[in-house]
Amino acid sequence: MQSIIDKMTSNAYKILKYMYSCQIELPDGTKYVPLSQVEMAPLIGVSTITINKLFKQLRDDNLLLPIEGKRGKYELTEKAIIIIKDMEKLEDKMGEIE
């Protein structure tokens, strides 16, 4: 069942949340998302054109950074992680009152 936060948030947030949940950690401690935009689009429920626009927006808002030497791979910025964790806290509070 979809949470109320998922129902009330934009696709940009849904991308961040999905990326956060499937990060992998490299030996140097860098975390990144192994999926490409094309692979993520159907999982988020948007077209590849839409996800490309959303990724541009997320990069412009300093929420995603490309990983050097890994074409099409991104890492979440600290700003993105703070947003996700704060939204998770809000979701927990919403669950307490439902």
Percentages (nearest 5) of helix, strand, coil residues in the chain: 60, 10, 30
Each residue's pLDDT tens digit in the chain (98 positions)? 566 666 667 888 889 999 999 998 889 888 888 888 999 999 889 999 999 999 999 999 999 998 877 778 889 999 999 999 998 898 888 777 76
Does the pTM of the predicted model rise above 0.75? yes
pLDDT, tens only, 52-72: 999 999 999 999 998 877 778
